[in-house]
């Protein structure tokens, strides 16, 4: 392995050990379904949404009924229909809470202020770990959104907005590592990398994903390959110099 490439890999690994384990913590469903200050007054609503989240993940949206949500939550069907028009309204409510929470959390974890002192290897490593951590924890919800986005305009819009927002933030921070005249190129590269990692992770969380793609989010070698590919790409198109 060339000396420069080996040094680069070592920096990436060091960045991962320093940043990933402590900095990345996506909230649990019990935290994002409803704001904490509303938990007491809206306990019934929380129970409905928590039950629906579990059933949608276990059985799938189509196979989950309001009666099943009622049984799992301990809330009568009449009370559920008093709060939601139908099953789709339950889905929309919990997905809206999920996407709003994840966008707020990402902004707190990844920004120019939070990552301004990172070198390029640390930055790409940290961003990759944020994405992969999200897919590991939220796989069931991501697959649920994917299954409904073709027929549910609200979910399709939320998925697109979150991905665009996250990738744009990555591009903004990445631009601090290149000359101003190349920022359009680095923004395009950042969007490409975001799509590539999400595509690989999305395939990997399918039942046969790791076999089909050869990529496993939990595998350090898989993670290392995608980071290395992106840094090599930046060098090849002249956006960064060889370290």
Full-prediction pTM beyond 0.75? Answer: yes
pLDDT at 13: 45
Most confident of 57-71, 114-128, 227-241: 57-71
Instruction: Give the mean pLDDT of 64-70.
Output: 96
Rounded Cα gap, residues 113 and 75, in angstroms: 45
71: confidence class by pLDDT, cuts 50, 70, 90? very high
Average pLDDT, the chain: 81
Q: For 15-24, 39-48, 102-111, 206-215, which range has the lowest pLDDT when averaged over its residues?
A: 15-24
Per-residue pLDDT at 213? 60
Instruction: Output the pLDDT for position 212.
Output: 56
Highest mean pLDDT among 2-6, 140-144, 178-182: 140-144
**Mean pLDDT score, 83-108:** 91
Rounded CA separation 45/73 (Å)? 9
Average pLDDT over residues 1-23: 44
- Please name the fold of domain 3-27+88-236: Tetracycline Repressor; domain 2 (1.10.357)
Extract the tokens encoding 203.
């395939």
Beta strands in the chain (DSSP E): none
- Separation of alpha carbons 175 and 139, rounded Å: 30
Residue 121: pLDDT over 70: yes
End-to-end CA gap in the chain: 14
d(CA 242, CA 232): 9
Residues 143 and 56: their CA atoms lie apart, in Å, by 10
CA-to-CA separations, 25 to 19, 21, 113, 155, in angstroms, rounded? 11, 8, 18, 24
């Amino acid at each position: 392995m060339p000396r420069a490439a080996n040094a680069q890999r070592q920096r990436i690994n060091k960045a991962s050990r320093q940043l990933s384990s402590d900095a990345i913590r996506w909230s649990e469903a019990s935290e994002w379904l409803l704001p904490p200050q509303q938990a007491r007054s809206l306990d019934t609503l929380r129970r409905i949404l928590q039950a629906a989240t579990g059933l949608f993940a276990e059985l799938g949206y189509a196979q989950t009924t309001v009666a099943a949500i009622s049984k799992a939550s301990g809330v009568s069907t009449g009370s559920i229909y008093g709060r939601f028009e139908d099953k789709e309204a339950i889905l929309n409510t919990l997905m809206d809470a999920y996407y709003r929470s994840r966008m707020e959390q990402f902004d707190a974890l990844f920004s120019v202020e939070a990552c301004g002192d990172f070198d390029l290897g640390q930055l790409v490593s940290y961003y990759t770990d944020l994405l992969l951590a999200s897919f590991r924890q939220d796989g069931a919800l991501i697959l649920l959104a994917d299954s409904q986005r073709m027929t549910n305009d609200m979910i399709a819009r939320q998925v697109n907005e979150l991905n665009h927002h996250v990738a744009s933030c990555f591009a903004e921070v990445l631009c601090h590592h290149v000359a101003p005249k190349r920022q359009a190129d680095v923004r395009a590269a950042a969007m490409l990398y975001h799509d590539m990692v999400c595509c690989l992770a999305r395939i990997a969380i399918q039942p046969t994903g790791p076999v089909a793609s050869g990529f496993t989010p939990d595998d350090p070698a898989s993670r290392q390959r995608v980071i290395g590919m992106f840094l090599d790409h930046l060098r090849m198109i002249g956006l960064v110099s060889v370290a």
